[in-house]
Amino acid sequence: MTAGPGAAAAGAPGTLLQVEGLACHFGGVRAVQNATFTVSQGTITGLIGPNGAGKSTVINLISGRTKPDRGSVHFDGKPITGLRPHEVARQGIVRTFQQANVFGGMTVLENLLVGATPWAGESLLAALGPRRAWSREQAGLLERARDILARFGLEDIADDYAGALSGGQRRLVELMRALMARPELLLLDEPMAGVNPALALSIAQRLEELRDEGMTMLMVEHELRLVEKLCDPVVVMAAGRVLAEGSMAELQANQEVIDAYLGGDGGH
Amino acid sequence: MVYYLSGLAILLGINLIAIWGLDLHFGLTGINSFAYIVFQAVGGYAAALTALKPPAAYGSFETYVGGFNLPFPLPLVAAAAAGALIAVPIGLIAMRRLRADYQAMAMLVLSLIATGLANAQTKLVNGPAGLALIPQPFAGVFTLSRDGYNWIFLGLTAVCCVLAWWVARGISRSPYGRLLRAVRDSESAVSALGRNPNALRMSVLITGGALAGLSGGLLVEYVTAWGPSSWLYPETFLFLTALIVGGRGNLAGGALGAFLVPILIVEATRHLPAFGYPGLIDSLDWVAIGAILLAFLWFRPKGLLPERKRVFRPAGGGPGAARPRAGLAGGRVESP
């Protein structure tokens, strides 16, 4: 299943994620066909394309939620193809979901605490032992969680149930929770969908800051102005295939991409 | 009267242990543990088979495997261990598919199969007639009146309740318990954060199973008999109703439910003047329990004492101690 030495050798310096020949089908529908692209260290790589292009499926294939029929995924040179979702996450790849996926019956702070991993105190044995065994670690994580909340300007909702928040706030909680895990690669599936424009801009700023601090992201997004502002390079998919890969400026000059997705004016 | 009340207190304690165990499955982790009575049943049989002498000692009036005549407290230890062990096959079968409706149905079917098995295999646990003459703890050690022995047994039950409380509380306040609640809310998010939801579910199925097994062991040692008709699948729903009425995810809620449903409702109707044909009141018990379950699911799904919101002290307010605050009816905001 793992690709041969060719794939590893193809990983140019700075390549964090390498997707090669990925394919998967649902019934008779070929959702993804022969998808090949790379994500370089320290970039926000965009993944765009019309509805049904297979973008979310690619995210699911990388994160282990869907098993590929063919192809391979390498992360930091190691094969992660076919690993289960929690195993992929342990490699340092944390994802968010198209529908904000928070722990609704828990407070925002609790959501963030679950994000932190690995935790010495989260075993059954630790639960039955004295609280001292985990309270110090928890205090440190709480501090980190409060720092992240402050950075997003959301200290006020720390003790609110995540299920009671607005859609946009839930997306932020999901993002903050992912940050608690200190991922090397963040997979964002439409992080700005359903978020008001002001909040979307503020999310974009946070993402830029994170990139400047060295975090790598692969982001599915439909709002092309945000993609243009944030993402370089951008991967374009249509009908399950990767059409092109390059900067937004290059793509806007690519006739195939224009026909398939961008339309005449290069944006909406 | 004293005998009756102390007996009732013993039953309350036994139910309490079972309901706290169910709360770990259902309240905390969100597993539709519809085979829960099987954990209790297996614990009961384990206690019985380890406490009984070999069948020949009773003139082979009942047939069963085992009969090790072990002294107290080994039958109870065996009961808890058996409840934990049976969680493994039940979990492997019922949690093969992730969907909650599949899990619920598989659990229910397992409960029916277990009853069928116990009935059909007369050599295993004496078939439908069940086991009797099960020795009680300290039998022959003290020479006590019936009332006096009840007090001893009540003390033993209380010790077991404290143990169950300690386990359930330790889990519910710990980071492990927080992960279990996360599994309840969103399994996909838990796995995206690097934890295996199935392993977490299995671990809690085992722990809750041990508590159910312990409660079964105590019950069997108290009533000295155990048969398939003692643990039919509706008994699971008696515990579920107690938990939903009292409040899941809240130890005090489970305790309140343990008092209100199996003790107050089931016992109170025994004192009604007889009416109708024999057995009518018993049947109406189940009708009442079903109606209460539905009423609570409609009008107060979080129960009388809902799960409390966990609020952390502000930074610098101590070494990170999580002090659950009793919010207004379980929190300022209701989650959908």
Instruction: Please spell the DSSP secondary structure of A104-137, one letter per residue.
Output: TTSBHHHHHHHHS---GGGSHHHHHS-THHHHHH
* A104 close to B (CB below 8 A): yes
Instruction: Tell whether A87 and A134 lie within a shared domain.
Output: no
Task: Decide if pLDDT at B101 tops 70.
Answer: yes
The partner residue sitting opposite B310, judged by closest CB among A65, A107, A164, is A107
Residue A116: inside a domain, yes or no? yes
Length of chain A: 268
Instruction: Tell whether A80 and A144 lie within a shared domain.
Output: no
Predicted confidence at residue B334, as pLDDT, reads 32
Q: What is the DSSP letter of A99?
A: S
d(Cα A192, Cα A210) in Å, to the nearest integer? Answer: 16
pTM of the model: 0.89
Per-residue pLDDT of chain A (268 residues; tens, 9 = 90+): 344 444 444 456 689 999 999 999 998 888 999 999 999 999 999 999 988 899 999 999 999 999 999 999 999 999 999 999 999 999 999 999 999 899 999 999 999 999 998 777 788 999 998 888 888 889 999 999 999 999 999 999 999 999 999 888 999 999 999 999 999 999 999 998 888 888 888 889 999 999 999 999 999 998 888 899 999 899 999 989 999 999 988 888 888 888 888 764 444 4
Amino acid at B164: A
Residue B287: inside a domain, yes or no? yes
Residues in A touching B177 (Cβ below 8 Å): 127
Task: Please list the residues that pair with A161 across neighbouring strands.
Answer: A107
Residue B85: inside a domain, yes or no? yes
Rounded to 5 degrees, φ, ψ at A144 are -65, -40
Cite the beta strand spans of chain B per DSSP E.
309-312, 322-325
Q: State whether residue A88 is helix, strand or coil.
A: helix
Residue A57: inside a domain, yes or no? yes
β B322-325/A15-26 pair status:
unpaired
Predicted confidence at residue B33, as pLDDT, reads 94
Instruction: Tell whether A70 and A178 lie within a shared domain.
Output: yes
Residue B296: inside a domain, yes or no? yes
**Residue A207, both tokens:** 């993402």
The pLDDT mean for chain B works out to 88
Instruction: Tell whether B253 and B187 lie within a shared domain.
Output: no
The partner residue sitting opposite B191, judged by closest CB among A89, A104, A105, is A89
d(Cα B167, Cα B161) in Å, to the nearest integer? Answer: 10
Instruction: Tell whether B128 and B245 lie within a shared domain.
Output: no
Q: End-to-end CA distance of chain A: give it in Å, rounded.
A: 41
The minimum CA-CA distance between B78 and chain A, rounded to whole Å, is 20
Predicted confidence at residue A4, as pLDDT, reads 41
d(Cα B195, Cα B135) in Å, to the nearest integer? Answer: 45
Number of domains within chain B: 2
Instruction: Tell whether A109 and A94 lie within a shared domain.
Output: no
Residue B336: inside a domain, yes or no? no
d(Cα A248, Cα A54) in Å, to the nearest integer? Answer: 20
Least Cα distance to B247 among B235, B259, B236, B263 occurs for B259
d(Cα B80, Cα B214) in Å, to the nearest integer? Answer: 4
How much is the average pLDDT of B240-255?
A: 95
d(Cα B305, Cα B110) in Å, to the nearest integer? Answer: 31
Instruction: Tell whether A159 and A225 lie within a shared domain.
Output: no
Instruction: Tell whether B85 and B219 lie within a shared domain.
Output: yes
Task: Decide if pLDDT at B193 tops 90.
Answer: yes
Boundary residue ending a domain (B206, B231, B256): B231
* A1 close to B (CB below 8 A): no
Instruction: Tell whether A178 and A68 lie within a shared domain.
Output: yes
The partner residue sitting opposite B194, judged by closest CB among A124, A158, A181, is A181
More confident: B293 or A259 = B293
Number of domains within chain A: 2
Least Cα distance to A233 among A221, A251, A215 occurs for A251
List residues of B whose CB lies inside 8 A of any A CB: 166-167, 170-171, 173-179, 181-182, 184-186, 188-197, 203-204, 207, 307, 309-312, 315, 319-322, 331-336
d(Cα B32, Cα B41) in Å, to the nearest integer? Answer: 18
Q: Determine what percent of chain B falls in helix, strand and coil, rounding each to the nearest 5.
A: 70, 5, 30
Q: State whether residue A237 is helix, strand or coil.
A: strand
Residues in B touching A160 (Cβ below 8 Å): 332-333
Predicted confidence at residue A57, as pLDDT, reads 95
Length of chain B: 336
Boundary residue ending a domain (B181, B201, B231): B231
Q: Determine the residue among A109, A124, A143, A174 to mutate to test chain B binding: the one whose Cβ has the most chain B Cβ atoms within 10 Å.
A: A124
Instruction: Tell whether B163 and B76 lie within a shared domain.
Output: yes
How much is the average pLDDT of B93-100?
A: 80
Tell whether ipTM is more than 0.95. Answer: no
* A136 close to B (CB below 8 A): yes
Q: What is the DSSP letter of B29?
A: T
- Chain A (151-210) residues lying within 8 Å, Cβ to Cβ, of chain B: 158-164, 174, 177-178, 181
- Chain A (65-94) residues lying within 8 Å, Cβ to Cβ, of chain B: 65, 84-86, 89-90, 94
pLDDT tens digits along B201-225: 999 999 999 999 999 999 999 999 9
Instruction: Tell whether A213 and A124 lie within a shared domain.
Output: no
Q: Are B154 and B5 in contact (CB under 8 A)?
A: no
* A61 close to B (CB below 8 A): no
Rounded to 5 degrees, φ, ψ at B247 are 130, 115
Instruction: Tell whether A145 and A175 lie within a shared domain.
Output: no
Provide CB contacts within 8 A for B151, sequence distance 6+: B6
Consecutive H or E run containing B11: helix B2-22
Q: How many CB pairs lie under 8 A apart between chains A and B?
A: 149
B282 burial type by CB count under 10 A (0-12 exposed, 13-18 middle, 19+ buried): exposed
Burial track B230-248 (b if 16+ CB lie within 10 A, e otherwise): bbebebbbbbbbbbbbbbb
Cite the beta strand spans of chain A per DSSP E.
15-26, 29-40, 44-48, 70-75, 78-79, 93-95, 185-189, 216-220, 234-238, 241-246
Residue B330 has a CB neighbour count (10 Å cut-off) of 19
Instruction: Tell whether B118 and B208 lie within a shared domain.
Output: yes
Residues in A touching B331 (Cβ below 8 Å): 161
d(Cα B177, Cα A106) in Å, to the nearest integer? Answer: 12
Provide CB contacts within 8 A for A151, sequence distance 6+: A206
Residue of A nearest to B176 (CA): A122
Instruction: Tell whether A77 and A178 lie within a shared domain.
Output: yes
Amino acid at B152: I
Instruction: Tell whether A19 and A62 lie within a shared domain.
Output: yes
Percent of chain B with pLDDT over 70: 93
The partner residue sitting opposite A128, judged by closest CB among B170, B181, B309, is B170
d(Cα B274, Cα B284) in Å, to the nearest integer? Answer: 12
Instruction: Tell whether B281 and B176 lie within a shared domain.
Output: no
Percent of chain B with pLDDT over 90: 65
d(Cα A137, Cα A118) in Å, to the nearest integer? Answer: 11
Q: Are B190 and B183 in contact (CB under 8 A)?
A: yes
Boundary residue ending a domain (B231, B256, B275): B231
Least confident piece of the model among B1-5, B24-28, B199-203, B217-221 = B1-5
Instruction: Tell whether B113 and B162 lie within a shared domain.
Output: yes
Predicted confidence at residue B254, as pLDDT, reads 95
Amino acid at B244: I
Instruction: Tell whether B194 and B288 lie within a shared domain.
Output: no
Give the domain range for residue B43: 2-231
Instruction: Tell whether B35 and B66 lie within a shared domain.
Output: yes
Residues in B touching A124 (Cβ below 8 Å): 171, 176, 203-204, 207
pLDDT tens digits along B260-272: 998 888 777 777 7
Q: Determine the residue among A122, A177, A182 to mutate to test chain B binding: the one whose Cβ has the most chain B Cβ atoms within 10 Å.
A: A122
Give the domain range for residue A123: 103-164
How does DSSP assign B190-215, residue by residue?
Answer: HHHTT--HHHHHHHHHHHHHHHHHHH
Residue of A nearest to B185 (CA): A103
- CATH code at position A28: 3.40.50.300
Instruction: Tell whether A231 and A205 lie within a shared domain.
Output: yes
d(Cα B265, Cα B242) in Å, to the nearest integer? Answer: 10
pLDDT tens digits along B171-180: 999 999 999 9
CA B317 to chain centre: 38
Instruction: Tell whether B246 and B210 lie within a shared domain.
Output: no
Instruction: Tell whether A33 and A138 lie within a shared domain.
Output: no
Task: Decide if pLDDT at B90 tops 50.
Answer: yes
Residue B138: inside a domain, yes or no? yes
Residue B78: inside a domain, yes or no? yes
d(Cα A165, Cα B299) in Å, to the nearest integer? Answer: 23
Instruction: Tell whether B227 and B248 lie within a shared domain.
Output: no
**Residue A41, both tokens:** 């260290």
* A126 close to B (CB below 8 A): yes
| Tally of CA atoms within 13 A in the half-sphere of B200 that contains its CB | 28
Instruction: Tell whether B117 and B11 lie within a shared domain.
Output: yes
d(Cα B243, Cα A35) in Å, to the nearest integer? Answer: 50
